[in-house]
Structure 1
Amino acid sequence: MMNVLQISNFAAMQSNSNQEIQIIPILLIGITLLVIMSTAIILFFYFSRKKIVKTELEQAQQQIAHQKELLQTTLMTQETERKRIAQDLHDDISSKLNIVSLNASLVREETITVKEANMLGGKIVEITTTVLESSRRIAHDLLPPSLDKFGLVAALEELCDQVESSRKFTVHATFQYKEQTLPNDHELHFFRIVQELINNTIKYADAKTITLSLKSTQNTVHLHYQDDGNGFELAEGKKAKGLGISGIENRAAIVDATTTFQSQPHKGMSLDLVKQLN
């Protein structure tokens, strides 16, 4: 028979064995939870990273699309400029030079009298003078000398003076623009936009007053233009080719600026163009 000590040892061993048996499921549960948590963390980072990559890819695609749109806008604007220049060259220079050539060939005829030769010579001088004036105007339209030499404000002041000299318009101009805030090519686009707006006012608006302001701050460049003319329905105005609104919007897109047109029939029109600076 087992003595008391043996019985005690056996009971202790039995108790330890039972405890070990109870610990094993706890360990298994802990390991399982740890595996689940690790898997969850791995999946979380995997899907988070996947989402980040997807977002970055979408942003890159949007940027590429924006660059493509900007390139198309630039090409459209350049093509419009080429057509305008080609038309000016044809109308103002080519046709007149053909007349000069014809008159010059007549002067060389043996049967021509001195009086006729002098008359043809006078016509040649008159036409060539007109051609020279036209060529200067076309060159000025390509790149205004005042813009190239003195900057955007000087070019706009000259443009306003030319409009007021017609005595058909009163121009209220305010400039608080720090020169070279914008790159030279952007300043040219701003000038062209104002030029187009003034042309529209002269041709279509039947206005009396033009208000123009250009202001630069640390963060923005703000151009405001307004006339008191006939105005138009915006939806119809944007479709009309003569108003050149699409060209203005194209130039604004090239310089990454936003445009806000406001107009109603018989209530004039206004444009606010804002360029955010980096």
Structure 2
Amino acid sequence: MSWDAQEPPQTRISALGWLRALLRGVALAALCYGGLVLLLLLRLIERPLHGLNRPWTPRITRTVCRMSFPILGMRYRVRGRPMHHIGAVVANHGSWLDIFALNACQNIYFVSKAEVARWPMIGWLARATGTVFIRRDRREAKIQQQVFEQRIRAGHHLLFFPEGTSTDARRVLPFKPTLFEAFFSHGLDRIMQIQPVTVIYHPPDEEDARFYGWWGEMSFGPHLLKVLAQRRQGAVDIVFHDPLDVADFASRKELALRAEHAVRAGLPYEDSRER
């Protein structure tokens, strides 16, 4: 079930805005799909040599995502450092821009709902960059847990959005503990860490505070167009918190709650205190 709230009013796009959106859109598409072609070619060599491990191709993903922000005109800042220990990453989810923002500063592999794999263009990018797709079906829970364990033991940092949905980027919803169960299987809890990360969006001057938020029934196309057409953009901050040792927690619920508190504490808005 999706979290929902009143959507911000739609803004009229001027003729210059349409031109700006076209130029940025073409540049962004060329960057993303040029990077995708390069990644797929390099993967032809990387896969036979390294199998599940990907020592080279994540660098292409990071470079593409980092270069996306100058194209959009958004300021991008990072505080703290991504961990190098075996483990996973959890973050709040406020926008489709999270994918670019979180990929731009670390080597990660997203965990996403299975439907994304069928989305035009986005699905191709997600599959190529090693996204793990899951179904909300109890019958497949054991198989998915095995996949998580295999990827984590291979040194992949899987990134989860434990809220289970995106928001208006002004709050953190309670973390669902279900996916944390995978971290307590077959001794993983004794060797791995979880790193909480907070994504903070600063809207453009004089725009709605939820400008970059994407949630509920909002369509991707109009939201993308709005962002591309914006003359003066805002900023996004990525805040890395101290990693949590899974072994220090007795249950998935305790671990989920501690991770949620860390992510929530990094969000400066009053809305983040709502439960």
Q: TM-score, normalised by structure 1?
A: 0.22
Structure number with greater Rg is 1
- Structure number with greater CO (CA < 8 Å, separation at least 6) is 2
Higher helix share: 1
Q: TM-score, normalised by structure 2?
A: 0.23
